[in-house]
Amino acid sequence: YILQGSRWPSNEPLTFRIVKYPTTFPQQFVDAELTKALKLWSSASSLEFEHRKLKKQNEQKSNNLDHKTDIRISFEIGDHGDTEPFDGPGNVLGHAFFPQYGGDAHFDNDEYWTMKSTDGVNLFQVAAHEFGHSLGLEHSNKPDAIMAPFFKGYTPNFTLQEDDIRAIQALYGGKPSKSFSSPLSNSIEAYQAVSKQMAPSVKSSNKNSAICHDPQFDAIITIDDDTYIFKDKFVYRRSKLSMDNDYPKLIHDMFGRWEGGIWQTIPDQIDTAVTWPNQQIFFFKGKHYWKTNRFQLQAGYPRLISDGFRGLDEQHFFTGHLDAAFIYSGDNHTYFIKDAMVWRLNINIEFTNSIDIDYPQFVSSWLHIGEKITSALQWINGRTYFFSYKSYYRYDHINHQVDDSYPTYPRPISEWWLQCKHGASSSETAG
């Protein structure tokens, strides 16, 4: 998924209004289908919607309410004044504006709109897609996603896909549940709080205590919904709720492949790592990198970073030993940090990518964090976290600043991520 870069403030329900109905589709059905489409997005996020109905048809032009309406919906014909004329039946079905441009959604009145038919164009499906734009999502290249640009034909049980859910939750957070309605919902802090409530006796094993004595690490990644923390020659794992007692394990045992009867692995003491959405993981050390598909080391590695990620070597000051590699939640591009500088990959494709022309930039002016960044991660909640030795920052990618929640950031890694307490061994104090 791709976030456009703007979003609605989520403290109040968003209002929507159908300001121009289609000429060949009953109004009550339009109301129902569009409301259902918005409900898809509200059911997966903290968003709420409120329908501002027209009381009379003639309200259309003298509408004081319009100033208070967030998303205005209309069915238009041909050139309708926004420089993107519709083209009659077929081809373009609709378009919508991102939040920073008002969020309005326009549908081509010339389409043969339908509800439960393989003929024509399903209004609910197209509306669900256009409202994704109204909420801040760009087109996804996942073909199954609602935010993929092409109409798939009538699909019974049409619903949000994982890619769409991750996207909307990256912008607005998950749906607060009854038992779990913290404003930090879906954050590492919220999971930590739930973990304490649900399992007060959960303890990290003695094995985990090693990292509590020195709670800084080499790299941090996610695989599926689990977080893997690399330190020296060990890997620690935490689920959403707690550290896993079966860990740490040796990196050597977890990430490798048999080749010619020899077990090839990624090295110990890596510099950093990043997981791409296709489950490929890149591990960096010195001037080299290794690629795995989840835990399976791919053939042909290590390679030079400068071969796979062109542009990094063109900077005369780049000598390998990256500090951090991560996908930034603000634009889902891959970034690299080394000392005071940050680089951005143009596209997230190995070999054919290049470093964006505007980079490198200074980390301090890009992030507004003065401390040295030692690791970074886009976590499973779609938020980006920056680590600096024994502390970390949660980042607000909408306002492009450190999150201003309380307790303030930076916070100690040991307490919030590793479940150690007061710097002591977790085995002694957890719970």
Partner 1 sequence: CLTHVENNRLFYAKEFLNRFGYIKTNDSSLDISTSAVRAFQRFVGLNQTGIIDELTWQKMREPRCGNKDLRRIQRRKR
Catalytic positions are: 130
Q: How far is the CB of 42 from partner 1 (least distance, A)?
A: 21
Instruction: Candidates 126-134, 250-258, 285-293, 383-391: pick the segment binding partner 1 (CB under 8 A).
Output: 126-134
> Which of 1, 8, 25, 86 is the binder for partner 1 (CB under 8 A)?
86
Give yes or no for residue 249 binding partner 1 (CB under 8 A).
no
Interaction between residue 317 and partner 1 (CB under 8 A): no
Distance CA 107, CA 105 (A): 7
Q: In terms of CB distance, is 70 or 76 closer to partner 1?
A: 76
Position among 80, 139, 196, 233 found at the interface with partner 1 (CB under 8 A): 139
b/e per residue, 287-320, with b = 16+ CB within 10 A? Answer: bbbbbbeeeebeeebbbebbebbbbbbeeeebeb
Helical packing angle, 123-135 and 162-172, nearest 10°: 30
DSSP H helical ranges for 199-293: 209-213, 251-254
Q: Could you write out the DSSP letters of every residue in 333-367? A: -EEEEETTEEEEBSSS-TTT--B-TT--EEHHHHH
Q: What are phi and psi of 236, to 5 degrees?
A: -105, 150
**Does residue 183 touch partner 1 according to CB under 8 A?**
no
Distance of CA 65 to the CA centre of its chain: 34
Of the pair 27, 141, the CB lying nearest partner 1 is at: 141
The half-sphere exposure of 356 on its side-chain side, counting CA atoms within 13 A, is 15
Under the binding rule (CB under 8 A), the answer on residue 128 touching partner 1 is no
130 binds partner 1 (CB under 8 A): yes
Rounded-to-integer distance, Cα 270 and Cα 286, Å: 8
> Does 133 engage in binding with partner 1 (CB under 8 A)?
yes
Does residue 279 bind partner 1 (CB under 8 A)?
Answer: no
Q: Where are the beta strands (DSSP E) in 183-269?
A: 219-223, 226-231, 234-238, 249-250, 256-259, 262-265
- Which x/- pattern, by CB under 8 A, does the window 151-170 give for partner 1? x-------------------
Q: Which of 62, 357, 370, 407 binds partner 1 (CB under 8 A)?
A: 357
Shortest spacing between CB 399 and partner 1, in angstroms: 17
Query: Which of 11, 64, 358, 365: binder of partner 1 (CB under 8 A)?
Result: 358
The answer for 165, left when phi > 0, alpha when psi is -120 to 50, beta otherwise, is alpha
Cβ–Cβ under 8 Å, residues 103 and 74: no
Shorter beta-carbon distance to partner 1: residue 37 or 254: 37
Could you say which of 18, 47, 121, 418 contacts partner 1 (CB under 8 A)? 121
Told to check if 103 binds partner 1 by CB under 8 A, we report no
Q: Using the rule CB under 8 A, is 84 a contact of partner 1?
A: yes
Q: Interface with partner 1 by CB under 8 A: which range of 72-80, 86-94, 165-173, 270-278?
A: 86-94
CB count within 10 Å of CB 78 equals 11
User: Which one, 250 or 349, has the nearer CB to partner 1?
Assistant: 349
* Binder among 7, 52, 129, 291 for partner 1 (CB under 8 A): 129
Using CB under 8 A as the binding criterion, the count of chain residues that bind partner 1 stands at 26
Binder of partner 1 out of 350, 356, 371, 415 (CB under 8 A): 356
Among positions 9, 11, 150, 246, the unique one binding partner 1 when judged by CB under 8 A: 150
DSSP assignment of 161-192? -HHHHHHHHHHH--PPBTTB--TTTTSHHHHH
Instruction: Yes or no: say if 197 and 35 are a contact pair by the CB < 8 Å rule.
Output: no
Token pair 């304490």 is found at 196
Residues of this chain that interact with partner 1 (CB under 8 A) are 84, 86, 90-96, 121, 126, 129-130, 133, 138-139, 141, 143, 149-151, 346, 349, 356-358
